[in-house]
Structure 1
Amino acid sequence: MAHADPEDSPEDATPPTARRARARIASVYRRETRRAGGTWSSMVSIVGPDRRVVSAIEDDPDTVVNAQSVNKIAVAAAVLDKVDRGQLKLDQKVTLTPEVIVANGDGIFRLHKVYGDQITIAAVLSALLLVSDDTAARLCGLVCPALEINQILRAKGFTHTQVAPVANPARFFLGKTTPRETHTLLDKLVAGKLVSSGSTTFLLDVLRSKDGYIDGIRRDMSTAERERIATKGGWLESDRHEAGVIFDGSSKPVLTYALFARGQFTGGTAVDANFGGTHPALEARARLGRAMLDAVSKLRSGSDRSYRTRDYHPVDGD
């Protein structure tokens, strides 16, 4: 008779310690990645009440992968670095022209149909992160060219997290990263060591918005639970990635994750055209997201940083 994994028992779903939370998360990760198939490279850590960082998952974390839209966080950080140094302003405007539109990409700007809009850098960054707008990436390139993005990221210690320049200096492919570097970038962000305090709050407000990406980690959560998570997805061809931070009940960062999945998933190449929530990797991330949130639900982060969001109140107009 087969015995159930004790880490999958209901009483262990919300463990009281970081050590047991780590075991719970690792167990669910193993189960869900086996079920989904594909090749996974991941890193997940927990900040305990004593401020000690507990590693929950280190699965080929130094593998260089195609970052896809997860690197839009890094692009936004580079633009905000220029804002912090006074070289740009969030209310500075760029022009949405037909030439800059990514006609078949993700986002909202391609849907306008008429162009000439004057768009603030703040709005560009919001679209870049909230709806993963591909045209917004080109608009970022107008004020922070590819080589400058890479230079800024290298200066911050990110040698693998780089965009891929093309002939047009204002344009780029989203390039490469490693799970460890993306994890470190997020840890530096919530520690206030990536960009200024104001830019940190701006980035986290957008990434935590309930209006952002919900097909993966945040899928099986309430509105309030979703707003406890800052997250960014990335996808192309067979790649299905997501990275972010979970905050505890006091809005302190308690768990950081960087999950990169690619290759042949359960269902074969037929699922490569499925970028929705029924893709095996996204279903795995949804179950893992629920498990991660539950696993740290009794923990209080020892972080000295707290980032609160405004309470959500739906309205019907006016």
Structure 2
Amino acid sequence: MTLNRRSVFGLGTVAAATAVLGSTGAAAQAQEDAEVEIERSPTTADRSRKRVAQVYRRQVRKAKGTWSSLITVADLDGQTKSAVDENADVVVQAYSVNKVAVAVAVLDKVDRGLIKLTDQVEVTEAIVIQDTDGIFALDGAYPSKVTVGHALANLLTVSDNTAVRLCGLVVPALELNQILRDKGFVHTQVVPVANPNRFFLGTTTAREMHTLLQKLVDGQLLTAASTAYLLNILRATASFTDGVRLNLRTNERLRVATKAGWFEDGRNEAGIMFSEDNRAILIYSMFASGTFDGDKAENDADFSTTHPAVAARAELGRSMFDAVIKITTTKPKHRAKVYRFVNGG
């Protein structure tokens, strides 16, 4: 049997949004042409939000497709306000963005002392998904064992699909969903299958994923140690770079914790941008699907930055970063690990 993302993770049962953002009509074009350009790097949060909203509208209209998004910028006093709030309560297919939720459930059990990051899980030939995402299908060295920590690192950086199954060995699907529901995430759920330790990655909403990230960085989901562990992985240079982080320099990428997800026509990404003094200043949650600009068949097979939606996120990522570069907030600091250049040895 040939395995692909559909057979491994599934599509779930909830319909995607049908409203396409960014009208291409003449009236919309005329309105934008007359719009006052917001400065690239504002000095207030309010102007930053207006800048983000302006660039978002332009990029979404250019890319086309159906978008569900929530982007917020924090004020100096720590209050967050929306720059973009479009179809944010529509239930959408999360794809690999839900791997963040999976990691939260695993770390919740770590926090409760039920498992440890150093616990080992067995990598059998049967559990390895034979795709080209991640490393487990490439190493050819199984049966073997890895730690829960290794599984999480591969889950969130190279988005290894086998790592999803490895996480399922320590947090079965029904338990995982209950952990998320207990934390208030009723739409951010995986889809159980016959094997209790396996699941499809399921659904979320732009608002719920945004809330998950907000609560995570505010220390409301996990212990301080688990929060730092998870955010450091998402901020690592090994994490996803084709979308929001693409046009950022290395030291700038380290100020962005992000996770992308894709399958068929879906192109999603959610994450957190940190101010220069390491405070969560901007949170984004963007889910796009449907018919984008260009040839649909080519787009559906393209998961790189040449895809219109991913290209839009890359342009928006640079603009979002620049829009908040001159502002900060009173939110708690999160210290990322310093990236060190080495040459082996």
The TM-score by the shorter chain falls in which range? over 0.9
- Aligned twin of 1:310: 337
Question: 1:44–1:258: 8 Å Cα contact kept in structure 2?
Answer: yes
CA contact (8 A) 1:105 1:135 kept: no
Q: Offset at 1:4?
A: 5.7
For residue 165 of structure 2, give the secondary structure of its aligned residue in structure 1: helix
1:7 is aligned to 2:37: yes
2:327 corresponding residue in structure 1: 299
Q: Tell whether the 8 Å contact from 2:73 to 2:82 is kept in structure 1 after alignment.
A: yes
Unpaired segments ≥5 residues, structure 1: none
State the alpha-carbon separation in 1 of the partners of residues 64 and 80 from structure 2: 29
**Structure 1 runs of 4+ with >2 Å offset:** 2-8
Cα drift, residue 307 of structure 1: 1.0
3-state SS of paired residue (2:317): helix
1:222 to 241, 249, 260: 249
Find the counterpart in structure 1 of residue 12 from structure 2. none
1:152-167 equivalences in 2 (<5 Å):
152-167=179-194
The amino acid that maps onto 1:30 is: R
SS of aligned partner of 1:200: helix
Conserved? CA contact 1:69–1:234, under 8 Å: yes
Q: Among 301, 306, 323, which residue is 1:273 paired with?
A: 301
Equivalent residues of 2:101, 2:180 under 8 A apart = yes
- The Cα of 1:106 is off from its aligned counterpart by 1.6
8 Å CA contact 2:232, 2:337 repeated in 1: no
| 1:27 aligned partner, one-letter code | Q
- SS of 2:212's partner is helix
Which residue of structure 2 lines up, in the alignment, with residue 197 of structure 1? 224
1:264 aligns to 2:264 (yes or no): no
Task: Please state whether the residue corresponding to 1:257 is helix, strand or coil.
Answer: strand
Give the 3-state SS of the residue equivalent to 2:68 in structure 1. strand
Structure-1-length-normalised TM-score = 0.97
Q: Which amino acid aligns with 1:140?
A: C
Once the two structures are superposed, residues 169-201 of structure 1 have per-residue CA deviations (whole angstroms, 9 ceiling, x without a partner) of: 000000000000000000000000011111000
Say if 1:71 and 1:105 are closer, same or farther in 2 by CA, change over 3 A. Answer: farther
| C-alpha deviation, 1:312, in angstroms | 1.6
Find the counterpart in structure 1 of residue 158 from structure 2.
131
Cα separation, 2, equivalents of 1:292 and 1:7 = 15
| Cα deviation code 1:282-315 (max 9, x no counterpart) | 1100010001000001101221x11112222211
SS of residue paired to 2:82: strand
- Give % identity: 51
Asked if 1:254 corresponds to 2:286, the answer is no
**Structure 2: gaps (5+ residues):** 1-29
Residues 96 and 115, structure 1, Cα contact 8 Å, conserved in 2: yes
CA shift, 1:54, in A, is 1.6
Matching residue of 2:100: 73
CA distance in 1: counterparts of 2:185 and 2:328, whole angstroms = 29
How many residues are paired up? 313
Distance in 2 between the 1:134 and 1:220 partners? 26
* 1:119 counterpart letter in structure 2: V
Q: Counterpart of 1:285 in structure 2: which amino acid?
A: R
| Separation in 2, partners of 1:306, 1:52 | 15
Give the equivalent residue in structure 2 for 1:54. 81
The SS at the match of 1:100 is coil
Q: In the TM superposition, what whole-angstrom CA distance separates every residue of 1:260-296 from its partner, at most 9, and x where no partner exists?
A: 0000000131211000111100110001000100000
Which of the residues 223, 238, 262 maps onto 1:235? 262
